[in-house]
Amino acid sequence: MLDYKSMQEKWQKAWADARLFEVEPNEKRGIMVFAAFPYVNSPPHMGHLRTFCTPDVYARYLRTRGTNVLYPFGFHATGTPVIGYAKRIANNDPDLLESLRTFHVADEDIKRMVDPHYIVDYFIKQQEAEFRKVGNGVDWRRKFISIEPLYSKMVEWQFQKLKEKGYLVQGTHPVGWCTNEDNAVGQHDTMHDVQPDIEEVTAIKFKDKDSDAYFICATYRPETLYGVTNLFVNESVEYVVAEINGVQCYVSKDTAFRFSYLFDTKVKGDITAAELLKKVAINPITNEEVPILPGYFVKADKGTGVVMSVPSHAPFDYVALERLKASGYPVPKMEYRKLIELKFPDAKKGLGSTLKPDEFSGSTGDAVHHEIPALAYLEFLRMNPDVDDESVELATKLVYREEARYGVMLVGEYAGKDEPEARDKIKDDLVKSGDAMLMYELANDEPVICRCGTKAIVAIVKNQWFINYGDKKWKEQVHAMFSKMKIYPEKYRHTFEMLIDWIDLRAMERAQGLGTRFPFNPEHIIESLSDSTIYMMFYTFDYILRANDVKPQQLAPHFFDYIISGEGDAATVSKETGIEESVITRCKESLDYWYTNTSSHSAPDLIPNHYLMYMFNHVALLPEKFWPKQIVANGMVNYEGEKMSKSLGNIVPAGDAVGKYGADQVRFIEVAGAELDSDTEFSTNSLNGVNSRIEYLLSQVIEVIKAENGNELKGVDFWMYSRLNSKIKKATSSMDGLMFKGAYDEIFYASIGELKKYKEMGGRNGLVVTDYLSAVIKMLSPIMPHIAEELWHLLGNSTLAATERWPETDEGMLNMELEESFGIVDSTVEDVNRAMELTGKMEANKGKKAKSVKVILAEQWKTEAYNMLVEGKEIGEIIASMQDKAGKDKAAKYLQGFKNRKEATQQVLATQQSLFNAFSESSDYLKKKFGCEVEVEKEQDSKSARAQRALPSKPSIEVVWS
RNA sequence: GCAGGGGUGGCGGAGCCUGGUCAAACGCGCAAGGCUUAGGACCUUGUUCCCUAGGGAUGCGAGAGUUCAAAUCUCUCCCCCUGCACCA
């Protein structure tokens, strides 16, 4: 067993000493391969390794193909998470502390993590150390953090350009808001990490008949305005008169407070529910007068505290009126208008058929009163209107859902239209005519609580800067570029295309967090995804700046204009900035060389955000030669059959995994354990399989260096060479397409099998095995770089395997006929085993031993006729061309058999003679397999009754029992 | 709700775009046997049902259609997953 740890360190040092990964532009074709830089609020775990090892394997592969490859690395620290992290440390958050201990963070370090910058430094150090340990060949000279001053200068340049080009716009935007901290609240800022779910609601104005004031009713269903019978206010709620956007309104006191964050709102004075109840309101769409009635269910903090009542379609309204009547309240006579008809597509659908089993446990009944849909749904759920508020809730949901899906308007301007369409049009009309306004509300079922303990609401942020990704022309350009890009796996192409169309305004400034100050509002910083869309460019010249002690303030916009777009000239820029002209020129050359050809790697979760912005920003800011060429998205890593997650407590730190399982084992299973697009399974099982094969390879290397060379080449040797070259060919094309599993199934797994088979079939030529192993080890080097070095040197080489070239396919050694012949030998072994088992069970043969096995090879004319059938020739035609090689009846029958069974699909290359040779050469092997004598016969020479059953790729078998 | 993706064996997962080579690659699991001091290592064989010397039947979420022929194309329905913006 190898000592993996010291072996890994040995070779990592050898690579470092040879400066293999510190690359500069040269005359070769260059490519920069990079992974999306990681966020530094946690130590890396096994799952991360896949995303960072995949580009390394790819980079190492490309190097073996003669490409000059740069694999740089950087770190992302912008935004609020690190700050939140520091706060949690200060509060001794138990979950966080426990997770840090899992990752072996010392108490001493945890204490100092109250400082966000300490967190950043700590995790950068740790992440770098662990990515080194796993053998990634990174040019670490180019490392940077997204919060360093030099970097910020590039981001400033970027946003100035975006503004110049008209891609920055100002506007309003609804956000979750904490009124205590006066700050936007996102998922990270709430208790239990709830995402504030903001919903647009239509607020309809009902004029007070006797004044200029309006009742404001919030509704999701403006189309039901045609059926309003009354308004509800709650007698236990406090109301106010407020001036909202210049209009006198009646709303709950709570609403006035929330509206002050949405609209221009001034509270004029209190008004009691009792006073409101005396009023009469006017329906803006029908101009009908509607009374105000008490509604027990109306809430002060939802909607506006005033509810429009549509008893025909709203179960709550229906029930409230029923209860009111029952209580003896003088409810005027009113008309329950049916506004929407359900039109089901087929007989299987009906009222209530969208009810899901987990929504309702009771039994349902018949809906009778279809003229009042709200009642019909209540009947369907068999609810008791006096007590069963839960059913009313569910009935409301059902009406809403089914009318949206199957409903057709019966009344109003949009009669005959589907309900959702009518709803939107009516809403737009009302807003346009000033009879309604749009408000926002949190739609979460539970209240959203800020971490400070205050209930969050919705606020509209004014004069907020956005990047306008909705720009049509911009989108077109991105589409055009995208169509030329390579996407791995290709299945994401469609997703990308949809998303390019979908992305719209993106708010890009924040009040809090680490990062670059926004040039047009220095109070704010640039949002943390927006500041990381062209950062890869920085790798190509940042270390040149640092090496020459360039200061941030020297990085004037003209510097970037020159090196990126070639605007101006180096001398002028040098004069302006004080940066030496040669340094500027080197930056430009480096950028030109590395940035014209790139491959970007990450997990697919970055597609709808980072990658979209990556493409848009490149198109907007950089010349076409620097546009992205290739995006690679890799799947996740499961551990022992489960997703790695905090809740399962099965997160394995990267360092632990490498220490415990070995760097190459981890690399292999994570990168080649599954194809790029699917999740890979890290299990003891897969690890054992990999380890045992590594051991086997090692044993073969040791054996072959002791073996004798120079025997004459036999069939099996040619077979081995053919297999090797087929393997190289297949693996090369798989690697080129980033199909690492396909490639390494061939290189690693299949090779072990072939080495064993070769020996079983009597192969013993040391030279052949050495050639074979050398090629396999070279191909193994990208994914198992340490072990490949070890084996490579054991074989007697003194060069580094990492610098060896990938083997070329020697077409002259390919012999598909031979490979097929030996393949048929193998499949025949399986058939014989089966035949022996079956015949052994027969009465006559019980307890006996097989004496011999006859393998009878089909006559050559069968193969020829069969191949003609595959070519699509008619049977008659084939028989005619057969002449007298076989009896015509025999040939016809044989061919018809194939045709009927639809088996004539692939040509058979092996001739009878080549099969005969393969079987003859394998006779020792076969004897050992069967444990009895083996006779190989040609059909035309055989006396066996079974001889004529022989088919081209399937010899006839006869087991002879003693 | 909107948008995107998907439903194949005990499981993971190919194949579906370019219909016939598909009882279904490859892997895992499971079963029997072998090897072995032992084994989570390795090697055989099997793993829908029936037949039992390489034969047949059924089958790819449900239903219908197109076709000589459908997991593969069309339509309808059912179910599942992911994203929806201030969050990296």
SS3 A838: helix
Rounded mean pLDDT, A91-110? 87
Q: Which residue did the predictor score with more confidence, A92 or A616?
A: A616
Q: Taking a C-beta distance cutoff of 8 angstroms, is the pair A716, A763 a contact?
A: yes
- Specify the nucleotide whose C1' lies closest to residue A959 (CA): B53
Span of A173-182, A217-226, A784-793, A833-842 with lowest mean pLDDT: A833-842
- Specify the nucleotide whose C1' lies closest to residue A684 (CA): B40
- Specify the pLDDT at position A923: 81
Å separating the CA of residue A194 from the C1' of nucleotide B74: 43
Any alpha helices (H) in A268-354, and if so which ranges?
Answer: 273-277, 315-326
Å separating the CA of residue A907 from the C1' of nucleotide B69: 22
SS3 A840: helix
- Specify the pLDDT at position A884: 56
Residue A169 pLDDT exceeds 70: yes
Span of A169-183, A241-255, A264-278, A946-960 with lowest mean pLDDT: A946-960
- Specify the nucleotide whose C1' lies closest to residue A40 (CA): B88
Band (pLDDT 50/70/90 cuts) for residue A905 is: low
Å separating the CA of residue A356 from the C1' of nucleotide B33: 51
Å separating the CA of residue A819 from the C1' of nucleotide B61: 41
- Specify the nucleotide whose C1' lies closest to residue A183 (CA): B86
Q: Taking a C-beta distance cutoff of 8 angstroms, is the pair A783, A671 a contact?
A: yes
Percent of chain A with pLDDT over 90: 45
- Specify the pLDDT at position A381: 82
The dihedrals phi and psi of A28, each to the nearest 5 degrees, come to: -75, 165
Identify the residue whose Cα has the smallest distance to the C1' of B28: A685
Band (pLDDT 50/70/90 cuts) for residue A387 is: low
Identify the residue whose Cα has the smallest distance to the C1' of B78: A354
Residue A886 pLDDT exceeds 80: no
Q: Taking a C-beta distance cutoff of 8 angstroms, is the pair A803, A25 a contact?
A: no
- Specify the nucleotide whose C1' lies closest to residue A498 (CA): B4
- Highest mean pLDDT (candidates A129-143, A451-465, A691-705, A748-762): A129-143
Task: For residues A309 and A346, give the distance between their C-alpha atoms in angstroms, rounded to a whole number.
Answer: 32
- Specify the nucleotide whose C1' lies closest to residue A757 (CA): B43
Whose tokens are 């998922």? That residue is: A187
- Specify the nucleotide whose C1' lies closest to residue A836 (CA): B53
Give the CA distances from residue A587 to residues A536, A772, A839, in Å, rounded to whole numbers and listed in that order. 14, 44, 78
SS3 A461: strand
- Specify the nucleotide whose C1' lies closest to residue A745 (CA): B26
Identify the residue whose Cα has the smallest distance to the C1' of B79: A356
Q: Which nucleotides of B are covered by protein (CB under 7 A)?
A: 1-6, 12-14, 20-21, 26-29, 40-46, 52-54, 56, 76-79, 83-88
Rounded mean pLDDT, A157-180? 90
Interface ipTM: 0.86
- Specify the nucleotide whose C1' lies closest to residue A188 (CA): B87
What residue type is assigned to position A476 of the chain?
Answer: E
Q: Taking a C-beta distance cutoff of 8 angstroms, is the pair A262, A458 a contact?
A: yes
- Specify the pLDDT at position A893: 66
Å separating the CA of residue A357 from the C1' of nucleotide B80: 16
- Specify the pLDDT at position A871: 67
Whose tokens are 């490409």? That residue is: A67
Rounded mean pLDDT, A152-178? 92
Span of A66-75, A188-197, A465-474 with lowest mean pLDDT: A188-197
Q: Which residue did the predictor score with more confidence, A709 or A717?
A: A717
Task: For residues A296 and A237, give the distance between their C-alpha atoms in angstroms, rounded to a whole number.
Answer: 10
pTM (two decimals): 0.87
Average pLDDT over chain A reads 87
- Specify the nucleotide whose C1' lies closest to residue A946 (CA): B53
- Specify the pLDDT at position A797: 95
Rounded mean pLDDT, A716-741? 88
What is the β-pairing status of strands A230-233 and A289-294? parallel
Q: Which helix (H) or strand (E) is A291 found in, with range?
A: strand A289-294
Å separating the CA of residue A346 from the C1' of nucleotide B64: 14
- Specify the pLDDT at position A847: 62
* DSSP, res A113: T
Q: Taking a C-beta distance cutoff of 8 angstroms, is the pair A744, A668 a contact?
A: yes
- Specify the nucleotide whose C1' lies closest to residue A741 (CA): B26
- Specify the pLDDT at position A383: 73
- Highest mean pLDDT (candidates A268-282, A380-394, A728-742): A268-282
Å separating the CA of residue A388 from the C1' of nucleotide B81: 34
Structure-token pair, residue A526? 């640039």
Angle between helices A751-760 and A715-736 (to 10 degrees): 180
Rounded mean pLDDT, A313-327? 91
Q: How many CA atoms lie within 13 A of A291 on its CB side?
A: 14
Percent of chain A with pLDDT over 70: 92
Of A207, A223, A645, nearest in space to A422 by CA: A223
Rounded mean pLDDT, A901-925? 74
* DSSP, res A682: E
Å separating the CA of residue A405 from the C1' of nucleotide B55: 54
Q: Which helix (H) or strand (E) is A957 found in, with range?
A: strand A956-961
Rounded mean pLDDT, A789-817? 92
Å separating the CA of residue A674 from the C1' of nucleotide B25: 15
- Specify the pLDDT at position A617: 96
Structure-token pair, residue A428? 């737009």
Task: For residues A216 and A284, give the distance between their C-alpha atoms in angstroms, rounded to a whole number.
Answer: 11
- Specify the pLDDT at position A903: 43
Identify the residue whose Cα has the smallest distance to the C1' of B52: A838
Q: Taking a C-beta distance cutoff of 8 angstroms, is the pair A530, A506 a contact?
A: yes
Å separating the CA of residue A526 from the C1' of nucleotide B88: 14
Rounded mean pLDDT, A215-235? 93
| Partner residues linked to A244 by β-bridges | A247, A265
- Specify the nucleotide whose C1' lies closest to residue A404 (CA): B1
Identify the residue whose Cα has the smallest distance to the C1' of B86: A507
Rounded mean pLDDT, A98-115? 90
Band (pLDDT 50/70/90 cuts) for residue A902 is: very low
Å separating the CA of residue A604 from the C1' of nucleotide B60: 28
| Partner residues linked to A307 by β-bridges | A232
CA A41 to chain CA centroid, Å, is: 21
Å separating the CA of residue A894 from the C1' of nucleotide B56: 20
- Highest mean pLDDT (candidates A499-508, A582-591, A669-678): A582-591
Whose tokens are 């028989």? That residue is: A879
Peptide bond into A294 cis (omega under 30): no
Å separating the CA of residue A773 from the C1' of nucleotide B21: 34
Residue A269 pLDDT exceeds 70: yes
Å separating the CA of residue A660 from the C1' of nucleotide B36: 28
Rounded mean pLDDT, A147-166? 95
Å separating the CA of residue A686 from the C1' of nucleotide B9: 22
Residue A492 pLDDT exceeds 70: yes
- Specify the pLDDT at position A901: 46
Task: For residues A42 and A654, give the distance between their C-alpha atoms in angstroms, rounded to a whole number.
Answer: 11
Å separating the CA of residue A865 from the C1' of nucleotide B68: 24
The sign one gets for the Cα dihedral A775, A772, A912, A896 is negative
Rounded mean pLDDT, A332-337? 92
Identify the residue whose Cα has the smallest distance to the C1' of B77: A348
